[in-house]
Structure 1
Amino acid sequence: MGKLELLLLILLGLGALVFGLWKKARATTARERQERPPRPAGHGAVLSDDEFYKKVLLMQAQNAASPDEPRPPVAPESPLPRWWRTFWGGSPLGKTRRPAGPKIRV
């Protein structure tokens, strides 16, 4: 009987702890909702194909307008340290890095 009471007491304590954390999280969320400005609806202006193409051309022209301006140097990718390689010389992750680019699914 004593073990059952102890188990019930532990479960009651855990329930009170979870309830307190839940109540605190709701209060924090409500406070942050009042402090932060509302997010704008949607993901931004929708451009037609023609407008998008014009914007791309404008950005390309702005980038090409100042060829004398020095660009920040690109740091070369450092190879994995010697201790990170496997005994056969490959990467322990099994894959090499791919250049970042658009992911096209067909």
Structure 2
Amino acid sequence: FGRTPFLQGDMKNRKQWGRDHHPYAFTLWMAGGGVKPGITYGASDALGMNPAENPVHVHDFQATLLHLLGIDHERFTYKFQGRRYRLTDVHGKVVKGVLA
């Protein structure tokens, strides 16, 4: 989960400058156990606003982390209000391009 690439707020008051939450394009660093070393996976557009290549949803990222931990994300569930839910929802897929 990243931040927008642009400043927001009242430009006359530096204390009110900031960047909003931005879930569409962000940077993430992974290393160790089962992760392919020395690669860049995916890319954003020229402004850093949207994915331009190999988009990864948070459910895909969670599925990949669980896979690296030896946990089947499709079987890993939790119960809430009498129903079983998957952390990766029904959409999560392991991102094989980052696996060693």
Higher fraction of helix: 1
Tell which structure's C-alpha radius of gyration is larger: 1
Q: Same fold (TM over 0.5)?
A: no
**Structure-2-length-normalised TM-score:** 0.19
**Structure-1-length-normalised TM-score:** 0.19
Higher fraction of strand: 2
Greater RCO, CA 8 A, separation 6+ = 2
